[in-house]
Structure 1
């Protein structure tokens, strides 16, 4: 059965600090951060300390026993287990939470105890919780003030104790809840007190990234009075080293109130030597405040350029929060010496200036997160593209799907690493795409290659033109998403001189037609004999009674009907033309918001049957522009911006999915969105604010002006680019990425003439931007 993940989330709030922008108006005040947006509901984000794309995510953990705590943290849980060094942001499957540190003055307890009874274990209630980019603090009920900050590869702790004794527990058994019946989730663990006092250790974890390794090296500013190691079953160990599966160390101090206890910890996926080298390179002093200032400066350099005028304070905070969340993943995975573990399970070493990364949620992030980084962080985007190409070469599966910590999890469907590479190619990021082609070709054509759930049925997809619903689950979505990856691969094939393959892929990218029944205008399960599911209901998830055998991936028939991103005009023709397609879109947003009992929580944030809380149809509101009715896009996008995001812990209606939900907000609040990232086109919606200034790197800046824009003016009257009239309902990446001023004249009533002419409508498939 395919792995799935997610349900509802939120961004967070990140400060946008001031820079000057050309305007007669006074410079707007800084937007203060609220890093707790997304940590409540089913948001699955965390509030702790991290640097942009950093290896270490040092954050509190409140629980590991529910889906709501995939990140280890849930706002309002009331007690903290401790502080671990690795976390996932907004995902729907849990993992990580490595090297838990528990500072306390209470009697030693070796288990956390249940959330319902914090006194039964080492959990502690807490108060005075604060978070800002690169820094976190909280006061624990034992009286300890805990502060956290980071470098890229090290976590820094500062614990201020009241006078008297205390201890620190290091728990290597801490991880996301074991599932009944699974094999042991930790093996090959070790803890050692080295001669110089450094605590080193490792464990192998079989959770989501099956069999990943983590190594650490930890140093303390004070020498413990006594150290006790514990082996499996919490049995006390003798000596200064222990091996097993579930290990712990208790570090006792007779007096901790005379000065704060500092802990600095380096991690590595390669070996202990790598963790020690990372620690030596990035934690060569004991000045916590110096490290904190450096982290805050790094964030300021990354975030300060975003300036916002207009909107409400909450909307500005959401915008800034979204910017923050797009800068957390993918996460650094190579050590300071360039070593990393590849998807071939081998250790590789990169030359100076190159970096390996982990945590690519490609099924989600190819849609808006990677387009956002290409537009606003081109230097970082180049590093990521080089890394995706490298992973494509190293993996037996070809283009990465959901790589985590050197393991291909294979979660979700398709092989959307191809889409990420193709978009970068089209948008002019130089890279060695030719070296990725063999892996792409293998995934696209070699049906005997080792497989994962994400490409089940691709042989039948090639032979029959679709994945049969009576042979493979999620067949309708598979057919459509395989078609998009074919579209992506065709661009790379053409660029590297594989003309025949490019033609084959381009033609095969039309296979989406074979699961859209034109007689009813819906994406519909189709069986191996060519027949359609007779008792079709677009609200249902599939034709089988078993809840896991679905015909769609985290969607139903309504949402899957509009999944096509790359051949929108083909879809319009297939469904009967502009008028019928527009009416069908209207029906999507106006249908009753009912779901079957077996619907996953991922299908959330309903407006009619449109589900904003999950990715398959997040572009759907922009499809009105393709039938010459962009004013309907403007109306719906404004509604989604204001109803689906809030400046609160449960402030976004679906999992952030490593920044995808946040990137949707960022693009849409600016007034445009990449319906098909590979096309190089951004389709206009309508901006949320009066003015936004956004750095694009290399001295370029995009200013989006909408004078007088407010809650009652969602409709675009006209557009200018650098002062010149712009009649199109879209703009191309090459133009926008140069920087300039995009001005929207907004109004309270629609202007149906804007974008109505077919020549002004967005490009798609055979109609590409010049």
Structure 2
């Protein structure tokens, strides 16, 4: 994410001060038609640092068949960036919106140019097999582009199989299968690939397997590729691009390629079906059964129909056409993951590397960006797709049982990456339980308990510093990196784990976890009102500067996780009234929030690009602060939440490739927009309540499953009327500035009356959101 300085919010202590600071809202075309689903723009997020991709996939599918414009560097995390302007080829697996890259498996390069075995560079595409392109088109389930060699490339997908259709001009052409292609940090980074093989079977199916050691270190991928036309000849290339023996039916080694030649590639379109599996080639072959025969167009139609059903979950009127497109695109991006990880027969690879078989009807999933997605993506699924939320919960319980590291942190393709801090899968479990998702939560408790109490339990990067956390109540900044954020996040996980302990009948453990969930107090210095690094001897870092990332100047040693002292100060989600008291009460805390949004938008030189989308020191482009605009509701100033949320919805999202501030992070940035544009947000998902904000659209219809519908109305809404005057729920006056999931999930009518000036709605103490006390 790039560092972006937004104009400052002149948050004052009076209603008029903040109202003036908000300025004029953008003009909006008002709609009077019935709520409808808009078409998403798949290129939103493919520029800037959104790290999304435009290719073909199904909701939560295993295959993401998409063009790769680059495979090296930060902005190649998804394999695609709209500024690159040349395409390497089309690979079958991609990550959406992540800040770290992997995948890009089984690259297919269709071309009429001479055979080249290297990709070339974005600066000099002609030095390799890259091709410039034109006439690019993307929609859910279908992608099309014309390559410079004249090939028209079309892509679609089933859940586990990618389908290609290449239309060549008359004359020779070939397909290069680059099985050495994968994501790299830099163009010269050596990626270790083991056990690679390519084999052409007697039935004409090309199969391959490899093990890749990068982010998800040691993950395996297997594929089976079937062509509609038999090539006139095929050549295999081994390590260092050494040709295999003439007439060979395969090759093995580390970095492998195959070229399939057609003397008249233009005689008829060449269709390809590629099934994938993390288990074995047999699983990949079985995936081909999802697309019987050669019916590319029928598969496109089926994909469109599937996506139409999913994207019909939220319909709106009002706002601008651009905002309606942003909403539809955000909804699309929330369904890019977690991604399917089990074969058709139910087999999958557990986090202990054992091949397991699921009970009938169950599925395994991968690509859980839990540090990001516990905040809004998973709560959104709990609301609009409770069936998927239940699947994810069952899967996370299994992964907790399977894993040698306990509750997952960032599992990808059967590997625990240990990325980010904490073990926030327990937050997803606690949130789901609070909202009525039925599962055997107690089954996860034994391994959760090991992570929570056993200091001998194996650590990952995400779980370092547990021993001093348990013994001293905080993590010393002179011993462990990111100590402040770790302490706060471990405290939140303790809070969530206590819920699971209760369900398992472990009351004493639950009590201890709740006591430890108050450890956040030990890294927020009440004397200065900031989250502050603390050393092993109990002393605080001095002189303190909240803009800095930590007490040491080295870029790799920080005291906060993708944040600085300002942002970490507001990280607590589960004990908000305890935090408010820690700061000295409502007025002091409200003033602290004001100063947060009003501080100069400056960052030190060693700040990571993740800290982006600044309003004062609030960084909307990164997740630690996503709940903070809603915290005014807890101190009786909900109108400030309303003004800020409306501002963020209109300023931080655009309908162009650079339309997402920061990485989309597997749908978290998108889920924040969806919730906030509807008028409510889960500031603490584990409480099972939503804090009310400011609805962006005039009306919305939200499908909740089982025939239930939530209807949101914003009476008198306009760009310059962001303030809630009153609320009605199912026709009756609603005084609270929050509403429970239990109520919303039943369906009904939530009506906001909007105005140009702040009101007293929801300011009374009895109308503020609940927050469980920390011990």
Residue 518 of structure 2: SS of its match in structure 1? helix
Per the TM alignment, residue 268 of structure 1 is displaced from its structure 2 partner at its CA by 0.2
Q: Name the TM-score, length of structure 2 as normaliser.
A: 0.95
Could you tell me which of 147, 151, 156 is aligned with 2:154?
147
Residue 296 of structure 1: SS of its match in structure 2? helix
In structure 2, relative to structure 1, the CA distance for the partners of 1:387 and 1:660 (3 Å cut) is: same
1:452 aligns with 460
Per the TM alignment, residue 43 of structure 1 is displaced from its structure 2 partner at its CA by 1.0
Say whether residues 1:193 and 2:193 are aligned partners: no
1:595 aligns with 603
1:17 aligns with none
Distance 1:307 1:671 in 2: 14
Say whether residues 1:294 and 2:302 are aligned partners: yes
Is residue 57–residue 64 contact of structure 2 (8 Å, CA) maintained in 1? yes
Is residue 232–residue 245 contact of structure 1 (8 Å, CA) maintained in 2? yes
- Output one character per residue of 1:367-397: Cα deviation in whole Å (capped at 9) or x when no partner: 0000000011001111110000000000011
1:764 aligns with 771
2:525 aligns with 517
Alignment of 1:164-313 (within 5 A): 164-177=171-184, 184-238=191-245, 239-279=248-288, 281-313=289-321
Distance 2:173 2:3 in 1: 39
Alignment of 1:630-709 (within 5 A): 630-709=638-717
Distance 2:680 2:499 in 1: 24
1:14 aligns with none
Q: Which runs of 4+ in 1 moved over 6 A?
A: 180-183
- Output one character per residue of 1:722-749: Cα deviation in whole Å (capped at 9) or x when no partner: 1000000000110111011100000000
Per the TM alignment, residue 483 of structure 1 is displaced from its structure 2 partner at its CA by 0.3
Could you tell me which of 82, 87, 92 is aligned with 2:94?
87
Per the TM alignment, residue 33 of structure 1 is displaced from its structure 2 partner at its CA by 2.3
Could you tell me which of 158, 183, 197 is aligned with 2:165?
158
Per the TM alignment, residue 571 of structure 1 is displaced from its structure 2 partner at its CA by 0.4
Residue 32 of structure 1: SS of its match in structure 2? coil
Say whether residues 1:744 and 2:752 are aligned partners: yes
Q: Name the TM-score, length of structure 1 as normaliser.
A: 0.96
Give the gaps of 5 or more residues in structure 1: 1-5, 10-23
Say whether residues 1:109 and 2:116 are aligned partners: yes
Distance 1:287 1:518 in 2: 66
1:474 aligns with 482
Distance 1:655 1:459 in 2: 33
Residue 638 of structure 1: SS of its match in structure 2? helix
- Output one character per residue of 1:425-453: Cα deviation in whole Å (capped at 9) or x when no partner: 11111111111001110110111011111
Per the TM alignment, residue 183 of structure 1 is displaced from its structure 2 partner at its CA by 6.3
2:56 aligns with 49
1:129 aligns with 136
Is residue 208–residue 223 contact of structure 2 (8 Å, CA) maintained in 1? yes
Give the gaps of 5 or more residues in structure 2: 5-30
Residue 624 of structure 2: SS of its match in structure 1? coil
Per the TM alignment, residue 496 of structure 1 is displaced from its structure 2 partner at its CA by 1.6
Per the TM alignment, residue 28 of structure 1 is displaced from its structure 2 partner at its CA by 4.8
- Output one character per residue of 1:538-568: Cα deviation in whole Å (capped at 9) or x when no partner: 0000001211110000000000000000001
In structure 2, relative to structure 1, the CA distance for the partners of 1:738 and 1:30 (3 Å cut) is: closer
Say whether residues 1:35 and 2:36 are aligned partners: no
Say whether residues 1:721 and 2:729 are aligned partners: yes
Per the TM alignment, residue 650 of structure 1 is displaced from its structure 2 partner at its CA by 0.5
Could you tell me which of 712, 719, 741 is aligned with 1:733?
741
Distance 1:567 1:707 in 2: 34
Say whether residues 1:619 and 2:627 are aligned partners: yes
Say whether residues 1:527 and 2:535 are aligned partners: yes
In structure 2, relative to structure 1, the CA distance for the partners of 1:363 and 1:178 (3 Å cut) is: closer
Is residue 154–residue 165 contact of structure 2 (8 Å, CA) maintained in 1? yes
Per the TM alignment, residue 29 of structure 1 is displaced from its structure 2 partner at its CA by 5.7
2:24 aligns with none
Per the TM alignment, residue 187 of structure 1 is displaced from its structure 2 partner at its CA by 1.3
1:13 aligns with none
Cα RMSD after superposing both structures? 1.4
Is residue 8–residue 43 contact of structure 1 (8 Å, CA) maintained in 2? no
1:539 aligns with 547
